[in-house]
Structure 1
């Protein structure tokens, strides 16, 4: 167990679903980073979502709905 202090974050479930899906599918070696710790932090975020939430059990329909909820009105 790490002796580093921890921080609790609150995310909308839709944000967690979208982030989890992206992190599961993205090639972290292709994500631009300035320091290797940034890639490790993304991997740690994935592990937290995977082990500490029910998000990994979502369906594709739930992922699609989460994406729409977050990005549907952004104009992108």
Structure 2
């Protein structure tokens, strides 16, 4: 991602970030259904940001932490 491009800041609940990071790292992004190639690139960019540009160490999440985050997020589902 080029640093001179306009950016936005998105604040995530840590549990959401753990769940998203785990899903993105375990999913074949080539098989995710999209309607435009930019959508796949945006997912790859999100993964990169979660992996390298956060203050929290998501790459070190244990299976137990991932399971706890999944349970937390699932318990907060509004749909």
TM-score between the two structures when normalised by the length of structure 1: 0.90
Give the superposed CA RMSD. 1.8
Post-superposition offset of 1:73: 5.7
Taking the TM superposition and a 5 Å limit, the aligned residue runs for 1:55-74 are 55-72=58-75, 74=77
Corresponding residue number in structure 1 for 2:46: 45
In structure 2, distance between residues paired with 1:9 and 1:20: 15
Could you list the structure 1 runs, at least 4 aligned residues long, displaced by more than 4 angstroms after superposition.
none
Deviations 1:15-74 (A, max 9, x none): 000000000001111111000000000000000000022111111100000000011364
Structure 2: gaps spanning 5 or more residues: none
Structure 1: gaps spanning 5 or more residues: none
TM-score between the two structures when normalised by the length of structure 2: 0.86
